[in-house]
Structure 1
């Protein structure tokens, strides 16, 4: 059957509209609590190994079952290399605590998602994050972006690990408010703290559209975690 140019144009328009309509929408917040991520435990998902955790001095731990530093007597903390970084002016990589509608932790632990920011100063920029954590205080389709100085939220291991104030750096929720405050951070956390005010332009919990993507090898090399059947690129 012959299809006219007008029909092709109409089909393309309809296909494009369907693609836009099919995009998932979500929200973001920010945090850095220094705790061992919930995807750091064996059996959480179908993966090669749990995400890496670090000791108090930021050295990777061989014992994947080490107790969370957020708990009394805990020795396992979030590694500093799980901070975000800019790939270029429009793309960044990082990690996040995640909760998705219709899923469970086993379905998103160590999966990667491409976020496109749709509001705030970072609007139009994209970020690929690997899910390393979740949270009981997260809503649906919620990405809590890990960034040093972003606020400790419910839990705080930063005081134990780095000597941060009792409620973490800045406010418990939201964290610090100015770039200059990053200057006093532990050396390994400074770059991730500056990232928020430079690449991210101090965006305040922007909305996103998102889709699951194959994890970049640059992310899985840091976390150590790859979902079974996936080949990072």
Structure 2
């Protein structure tokens, strides 16, 4: 899955906290239906030995076995969905735990956008320090290392959120779900909760999360995050951990 590159509201500056392990960045949202990068065939043996590989699904959100999933081409690469293409499972949607805590999966913007990225499958504890979600926390697992573009800079986190914008790979969701649905603006997605009603029914809950739990679009908000142990609630879905 390639990075979903979204328009932000301000430039992003990342700093590694001196000896604290804290990274300052910005949050964005996206959902392009593509196979996660951390589930690709590159360096497959190392992935399986050290951390496993992220799970993927067929076009009907049926889980593929590991071997099939690793070898399958992404549905975003122009491969007909009927010929073994792999897509992002709908189980990768955000999971609200409490009013101030959520679990989620994310793209982490990185210099290395391949499956051998050492941050594949790692988890982070995220704290919003600006925006409507200020002082709220998320525990996220990285399933795709993505590339920087425009306002999106290295270390920014793109939360996997249906209706959050399909980014540059605009054909993936059409390949998986057909032409009957609206996905919002390519970069940034929907601007309000009501627009979520236009998504496939199985993705609407993750879209509502953005406005119900996050209280807004969540793009360009300042965050800080640090490494944390992956909870089973996430690894049971992704099938991998670092």
Point out which structure has higher relative CO (alpha carbons under 8 A, 6+ apart).
2
Query: Which protein is bigger by CA-based radius of gyration?
Result: 1
CA drift at 1:165: 6.8
CA drift at 1:132: 0.4
Quick check: 1:193 aligned with 2:196? no
Output one character per residue of 1:115-168: Cα deviation in whole Å (capped at 9) or x when no partner: 1001100000000110001222352111111100000011120011112579x6
Q: Distance in 2 between matches of 1:103 and 1:61?
A: 23
Q: Distance in 1 between matches of 2:89 and 2:219?
A: 24
Q: Distance in 2 between matches of 1:50 and 1:22?
A: 25
TM normalised by structure 2 equals 0.79
CA RMSD in angstroms comes to 2.4
- 2:122 corresponds in structure 1 to 111
- 2:55 corresponds in structure 1 to 52
CA drift at 1:101: 7.3
- 1:148 corresponds in structure 2 to 162
- 1:3 corresponds in structure 2 to none
Gaps of 5+ in 2: 1-16
CA drift at 1:98: 0.7
Q: Distance in 1 between matches of 2:225 and 2:232?
A: 19
Gaps of 5+ in 1: 1-17, 228-233
Q: Distance in 1 between matches of 2:53 and 2:223?
A: 27
The answer (yes or no) to whether the contact 1:117–1:124 under 8 Å persists in 2 is yes
Quick check: 1:61 aligned with 2:64? yes
Q: Distance in 1 between matches of 2:56 and 2:86?
A: 6
Match among 176, 179, 197 for residue 161 of structure 1:
176
Count of residues in Structure 1 that have an aligned counterpart in Structure 2? 209
Secondary structure of 1:92 counterpart = strand
Q: Distance in 2 between matches of 1:21 and 1:212?
A: 10
